[in-house]
Chains A and B, each alone.
Chain A
Amino acid sequence: MSVQETLPFGPSASPMPKVYRADHLLVAQMVEAGSKVLDVGCGEGDLLQLLETKGVDGRGIELSREGVNRCVSRGLAVVQGDADTDLVNYPDDAFDYVILSQTLQATRQPKTVLENLLRIGRRAIVSFPNFGYVNMRWQLLINGQMPRTENLPATWYDTPNIHFCTIKDFVLLCGEIDVKMERAVALDRYGRPLRLNAPWWFWNLFGEQGVFLLSRAEKKGEADHRP
């Protein structure tokens, strides 16, 4: 698929306060104003709060009790829960968008989680750290150690991230479970979108994280759904 033609925005977007993270701003731009959004792994609710400024009806799930309580005390509709076990409790089509921001790599069943995202929401926005990032490769290849970066500072023995993938891996997974990639963006270490017309390998090497807007693939013929 061609990513370039679907890329949404130029470098100068809406004038948001600088306190918002670059990847959050990017995600927020992918969400239509006034829609209903579930943020899975919403942390302390920064993205949800940003979305609410756009008139979005936002809900959140967060694993850590501290995160949840912080969100609730910010007036956000957030529940304590686990992406792996709690998404099954949400009905089909409950949201316009389901966001999984920097959380996929911490789930036990990323594929099942991804499928659930697109069952619950009409669209899913997934961002994750790219393990194919040049700095990562360098640390493993030259230093011979598990990579650590500014955004992923944990050591191998205390990281919650158990399912790292590269942008290429993720694209392959999307193909496997019949999701349609509506938009894809790779961000550099400062959270800025990489060159739009770059090829995949370039993104996979120089993107520190990938941000994908996904929707359900067109329904295939009946034959495809037979067991």
Chain B
Amino acid sequence: MMNVQPVKNQMIASEERAHEADHPSSQVALFGADQPLRLDCGVDLAPFQIAYQTYGELNADKSNAILVCHALTMDQHIANVHPITAKPGGWLTLVGPGKPIDTSRYFVICSNVIGSCMGSTGPASTNPATGKLWGLDFPVVTIPDMVRAQAMLLDRLGIDTLFCVVGGSMGGMQALQWSVAYPHRVFSALAVACSTRHSAQNIAFHELGRQAVMADPDWRHGRYFEEGTTPHRGLGVARMAAHITYLSDAALHRKFGRRMQDRDLPTFSFDADFQVESYLRYQGSSFVDRFDANSYLYLTRAMDYFDIAADHNGVLAEAFRGTTTRFCVVSFTSDWLFPTSESRAVVHALNAGGARVSFAEIETDRGHDAFLLDVPEFIDIARAFLHSAGTVRGLTPAGR
């Protein structure tokens, strides 16, 4: 028997999350009917809102802004306590005072992507036209749509040029999209564990996750919030499958091996005998508490559609031709979701486009998740890249 139980009271958690969708514990930029977000699917989304966090201070000439783009199931709370999970920030290895993305030196912005569920408009938000939640009536969004919304937020904040746009995984896709869509607004870009297109295998994994959600009878064709249900089993399974892709064979073996969970002998049942099973079930159920199932469908779809080359006659180098952005691309040896070959293809295209690019492959067995973990070699490279770009940009170190 599949057994994904919520780790805390399901109702309280989902109510908290539902509240965050419209009334986030973040700053909010509202865009009215006169400022629609033009989506790739042809819809003009208006009104809409963007929830965002900022850290540090914008300097006088507004030259020290870093936009951090979050990954699929992360959100804008990268360096503060999360309002739902109460966990410390989502990217504290990289962001904070004295960290590579030094909040005492840079003005750091992270906005919840459009289509997500933490305060930027998405399927879990209320559709003002109907007074009901959007659900599947929400238009399908793309990575370029997310970036377009971020650009509108920066306009609102009066920031013309970003010193750097940083992201890992889906965030890295946004960073690359930023450099292509707004080359003159991006001084430097740090794209980690990502690609300019989603591979067939990754689309396949996403489809698996979506089918798991949609196969859950509690999903109710996407209207679960009106029927008092939550597709926690389907979303839990989706998260379990995805979580495996974020790790590696070696990391799982090191962490769990074949060790048993609170028992010495197999139970000859389908209980979580193995630690790895117990761990995955926990990952699945805790995810359900903080993430909206429909948002998961939309965001995975956005990644699937992503293909920068396709928008440039199939030639990726064309997308970067003549760019003046300084790029740093980082991959991890054990990342099989975005393997080094993907990053290398990006680097070849950047070189062919004449871009200034650094590319490092970091040796680690921690899989795709390595970009969020304390991997010293990666942290050092991120620090050095930002430091040297900052020197060229004329940014003085903090405290001067």
Contacts and interface: CB of A to CB of B under 8 A. Distances in A.
Interface of A: 57, 59, 65, 68-69, 71-81, 86, 89-91, 94
A65 B358 contact: no
A69 B328 CA distance: 11
Contacts of B377: 69
B347 A91 contact: no
B354 A91 contact: yes
10 contacts: A69-B360, A69-B381, A72-B358, A75-B384, A76-B388, A77-B358, A79-B358, A81-B344, A90-B351, A90-B352
B254 interface: no
The listed residue with most A CB atoms (<10 A of its CB), out of B351, B352, B377, is B351
Contact of A75 (B329, B360, B387): B387
Contacts of A89: 348, 351-352
A76 B363 contact: no
Q: What does DSSP make chain B's interface, helix, strand, loop or mixed? A: helix
A77 B380 contact: no
A73 B381 CA distance: 5
A65 B363 contact: yes
Contacts of B385: 72, 75
A105 B116 CA distance: 54
A69 B362 contact: yes
In the A-B complex, the 7 residue pairs with the smallest Cβ-Cβ separation, listed nearest first, are A75-B388, A79-B359, A73-B384, A89-B348, A72-B358, A72-B360, A77-B356
Interface in B344-400: 344, 347-348, 351-352, 354, 356-363, 377, 380-381, 383-385, 387-389, 391
A86 to B, nearest CB: 7
A79 B328 contact: no
A74 to B, nearest CB: 7
Contact of A68 (B326, B360, B391): B360
Interface string B210-254: 000000000000000000000000000000000000000000000
Given A76-B358, A79-B359, 4 more contacts: A65-B363, A72-B328, A72-B359, A75-B384
Given A89-B352, A94-B354, A79 B347 contact: yes
B328 A80 contact: no
A74 B352 contact: no
Contacts of A76: 358, 388
Contact of A79 (B357, B363, B384): B357
A59 B380 CA distance: 20
Contacts of B351: 59, 79, 89-90, 94
In the complex, which of the residues A69, A78, A91 has the most CB atoms of chain B within 10 Å of its own CB atom? A69
B357 A72 contact: no
Contacts of A72: 328, 358-360, 381, 384-385
A78 to B, nearest CB: 6
B191 to A, nearest CB: 13
Nearest to A78: B358
Interface in B314-328: 317, 326, 328
A79 B343 CA distance: 11
B352 A91 contact: yes
Interface in B147-200: none
B156 to A, nearest CB: 33
A73 B360 CA distance: 10
Contacts of A74: 384, 388
A129 B270 CA distance: 66
A38 B360 CA distance: 17
A122 to B, nearest CB: 15
A143 B380 CA distance: 47
Given A89-B348, A89-B351, A68 B359 contact: yes
A56 to B, nearest CB: 12
Given A65-B361, A80-B361, A86 B348 contact: yes
Nearest to A57: B356
A73 B359 contact: no
Contacts of A57: 356
Nearest to B321: A91
A148 to B, nearest CB: 30
Nearest to A65: B361
A94 B321 CA distance: 12
Given A79-B347, A90-B351, A73 B361 contact: no
Contact of A77 (B357, B362, B363): B357
Contacts of A91: 317, 352, 354
Nearest to A38: B351
A214 B354 CA distance: 22
A91 B326 CA distance: 19
Contacts of B381: 69, 72-73
Contacts of B354: 91, 94
Contacts of A86: 348
A65 B362 CA distance: 8
Contact of B356 (A59, A68, A80): A59
A57 B356 CA distance: 9
Contacts of B360: 65, 68-69, 72, 80
Contacts of A90: 351-352
Contacts of B347: 79, 81
A73 to B, nearest CB: 4
Contacts of A69: 360, 362, 377, 380-381
A90 B350 CA distance: 9
Interface string B329-345: 10000000000000010
B325 to A, nearest CB: 12
